[in-house]
């Protein structure tokens, strides 16, 4: 059976007790967890998340019957500032080491952009050098994950190094580790040039990634008059979730569906919209 989650920091509260309360309010199963965005005593610094703090979070969630399908420790592995890459790797490795203490066994990231901030298209993203750098970094992370008995999640996006399904799949195959999983965000692969091929990209991703998809990010958008895309609350845009969920169910009947970027007053109607179609 499909399960419905949300990014914890999209709930507008901090602390595991408040997060649980909001999850119960909306009838959601749990969260994609970014510790330093939703726990006030955890910072985006190596060593900030401790084993004791992780266990406290897990115990609260377990007692409430809530789950964490994915830990986000997103960083830019091709950032022009090497110190930011080193910091990102260190924080990611901390979360790999403490993933089980948090109640999860997958830590994920996107593949980044040479643009630095924001992570948008840069010509160097579409080079072999870029893919090789991503492969090198994620190979190191997979080794660390293996030592801790957990997995690494990789996510592609149109403006990033792994800009389409094929490139992400090629990177994963080159890394060659059994403990990699895919994070599939259909919206991430779209822009004004290919939005009309949305369902072809969905089919390609499902066929290519298969049951190695750990999480589906659930988003929606509208097309602006200039052809650009604007994210909106789920159910308010062009995504046909009756069709999308039916296709997902064929490949991943127990899919973890995570709202990402749906916030505030948009959450309740988005949950209703998805549940009616699940």
Mean pLDDT of the chain: 98
Tokens linked to 54: 């992780």
Residue 184 phi, psi dihedral angles, 5° rounding: -105, 110
Do 56 and 17 touch, CB atoms closer than 8 A? no
Whether pTM > 0.95 for this model: the answer is yes
Task: For 93-149, write each residue's pLDDT tens digit.
Answer: 999 999 999 999 999 999 999 999 999 999 999 999 999 999 999 999 999 999 999
Do 108 and 71 touch, CB atoms closer than 8 A? yes
pLDDT tens digit at each of 278 positions of the chain: 999 999 999 999 999 999 999 999 999 999 999 999 999 999 999 999 999 999 999 999 999 999 999 999 999 999 999 999 999 999 999 999 999 999 999 999 999 999 999 999 999 999 999 999 999 999 999 999 999 999 999 999 999 999 999 999 999 999 999 999 999 999 999 999 999 999 999 999 999 999 999 999 999 999 999 999 999 999 999 999 999 999 999 999 999 999 999 999 999 999 999 999 99
Structural domain count, the chain: 1
Find the helix packing angle between 128-147 and 82-102, rounded to 10°: 30
| Separation CA 265–CA 278 (nearest Å) | 21
DSSP state of 277: H
Task: Residue 162: give the domain boundaries.
Answer: 3-277
Where are any strands of DSSP class E within 98-150?
A: 106-110
| Separation CA 215–CA 212 (nearest Å) | 9
| Separation CA 119–CA 114 (nearest Å) | 8
Which domain CATH number covers 245? 3.20.20.150
Do 237 and 220 touch, CB atoms closer than 8 A? yes
Where are any strands of DSSP class E within 17-173?
A: 30-33, 67-72, 106-110, 151-155
Tokens linked to 259: 């709202």
Task: For 192-214, write each residue's pLDDT tens digit.
Answer: 999 999 999 999 999 999 999 99
């Amino acid at each position: 059976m499909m399960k419905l989650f949300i990014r914890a920091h999209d709930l507008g509260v901090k602390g595991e007790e408040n997060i649980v309360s909001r999850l119960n309010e909306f009838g959601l199963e749990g969260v994609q967890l970014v510790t330093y965005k939703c726990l006030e005593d955890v910072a985006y610094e190596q060593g900030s998340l401790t084993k004791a703090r992780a266990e406290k979070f897990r115990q609260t969630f377990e007692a409430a019957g809530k789950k964490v399908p994915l830990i986000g420790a997103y960083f830019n592995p091709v950032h022009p500032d090497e110190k930011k890459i080193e910091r990102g790797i260190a924080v990611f490795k901390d979360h790999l080491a403490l993933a089980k203490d948090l109640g999860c066994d997958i830590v994920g990231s996107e593949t980044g952009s040479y643009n630095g901030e924001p992570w948008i298209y840069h010509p160097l993203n579409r080079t072999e050098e870029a893919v090789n750098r991503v492969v090198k970094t994620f190979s190191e992370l997979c080794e660390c994950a293996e030592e801790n008995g957990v997995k690494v999640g990789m996510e592609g996006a149109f403006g990033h190094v792994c800009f389409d399904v094929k490139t992400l799949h090629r990177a994963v195959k080159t890394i060659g580790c059994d403990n990699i999983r895919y994070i599939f965000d259909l919206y991430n692969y779209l822009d004004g040039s290919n939005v009309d091929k949305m369902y072809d990209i969905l089919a390609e991703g499902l066929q290519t990634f298969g049951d190695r998809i750990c999480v589906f990010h659930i988003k929606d958008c509208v097309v602006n008059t200039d052809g650009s895309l604007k994210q909106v609350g789920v159910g308010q845009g062009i995504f046909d979730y009756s069709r999308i969920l039916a296709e997902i169910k064929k490949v991943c009947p127990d899919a973890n569906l995570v709202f990402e970027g749906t916030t505030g007053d948009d959450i309740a109607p988005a949950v209703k919209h998805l549940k009616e179609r699940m």
